Amino acid sequence: MFRRLGAIGVRRAAALRTRAPATLSLSAVGAADAVIIDDRRSGGLEASIGTSWRGISDRVMGGVSASHVAADRVAGRACLRLTGDVRLDNNGGFIQAALDLSPTGALDASACRGVRLSVYGNGETYNVHLRTADTVLPWQSYRHSFAATAQWREVRLPFGQFRPHRLSAPLDVTTLRRLGVVAIGRAFHADVCIGDVTLY
């Protein structure tokens, strides 16, 4: 069963906005539930949870990689599409589509087991990066890779398989702040589509 985040408590979420930073808890989610982060019904960059996707690239640190994030329709399905060229010049090497997981500060996903995405791509390997209260430096994240082939498929990324990058703290899913779909680490042309994102 799928559950929209808003169904957990629209009024509660609105109340939380008045005392940010706060943590929105998913403690009411049962084992059979999946919480919808983005089902791509908006037709734009806004996700189902009310925050919006945005593009980030290594240009923030002097790199030259080019990226584009847009709503699209691919192989009959509405999606978020990240395209661009990852380049390693000037110690760069990444582009990403990033989404804040709560408008109020953090999301407590301790009742969930991982991230589930529907993906379509150009045969390359991409990452999902998670940021938490522990990722205080811009290069820190928790990472999991997935392959995006030229057909829609579902990938499940258990929280326990995300690996910390340049920090020692284990992943704390009670303070999730941001999710990023990332092309990183080598020079290549990125083209990946996300049909939906849920926590399961």
Model's pTM, two decimal places?
0.88
Residue 4: its H or E element? strand 2-4
Q: Which residue has the tokens 């284990």?
A: 170
In CATH, what number does 2-199 get?
2.60.120.430
Within 13 Å and on the Cβ side, how many CA atoms surround 192?
Answer: 31
pLDDT digits (tens, 9 = 90+) for 10-55: 333 333 332 335 787 775 554 457 899 999 999 999 999 999 999 9
Burial (0-12, 13-18, 19+ Cβ within 10 Å), 130: buried
**CA neighbours within 13 Å on the CB side: how many for 80?**
28
Token duo for residue 146: 């997935």
With tokens 């994030």, the residue in question is: 69
Distance CA 172, CA 155 (A): 21
pLDDT tens, position by position, 162-186: 999 999 999 999 999 999 999 999 9
User: CA-CA distance, 180 to 128, in Å (whole number)?
Assistant: 6
